[in-house]
Amino acid sequence: EDKVVQSPLSLVVHEGDTVTLNCSYEVTNFRSLLWYKQEKKAPTFLFMLTSSGIEKKSGRLSSILDKKELFSILNITATQTGDSAVYLCAVPRVQGAQKLVFGQGTRLTINP
């Protein structure tokens, strides 16, 4: 059965700290892994990592994919209160239609 596991489930840090969120996966015929940020409503897309693109960076956020060890990390440096959100990791299932398997999410709280 396809599975995505995120850790930690919850994390509280102070503004300015650096955080690392983890996502491990077990899926048949892996193709890609997606990270989303969910504040109060709709998850918004952050990154997609594939076999040909195992590292992505956007401002203070970066993500890497380790295909051998089957995990990805999302790194946020110099955190701000606006980074407070639930971060979701998802992997598409192979058997058609790009059905996403989601992890439980990591709830990140940045205190001023």
Partner 1 sequence: DGGITQSPKYLFRKEGQNVTLSCEQNLNHDAMYWYRQDPGQGLRLIYYSQIVNDFQKGDIAEGYSVSREKKESFPLTVTSAQKNPTAFYLCASRGTGSETQYFGPGTRLLVL
Question: Given the rule CB under 8 A, which of 29-37, 52-60, 61-69, 74-82 is the region that contacts partner 1?
Answer: 29-37
- DSSP string over 46-101: EEEEETTB-EEEETTEEEEEETTTTEEEEEE-S--GGG-EEEEEEEE-SSSTTPEE
Task: Tell me the per-residue interface mask from 48 to 67 with partner 1, x by CB under 8 A, - otherwise.
Answer: x-------------------
Closer to partner 1 by Cβ: residue 103 or 108: 103
68 touching partner 1, by CB under 8 A: no
Question: Given the rule CB under 8 A, which of 14-22, 26-34, 57-65, 69-77 is the region that contacts partner 1?
Answer: 26-34
72 touching partner 1, by CB under 8 A: no
Among 65, 79, 83, 92, binds partner 1 (CB under 8 A): 92
Q: What does the alpha-carbon distance between residue 28 and residue 71 come to, in Å, rounded to a whole number?
A: 14
Q: What does the alpha-carbon distance between residue 64 and residue 53 come to, in Å, rounded to a whole number?
A: 9
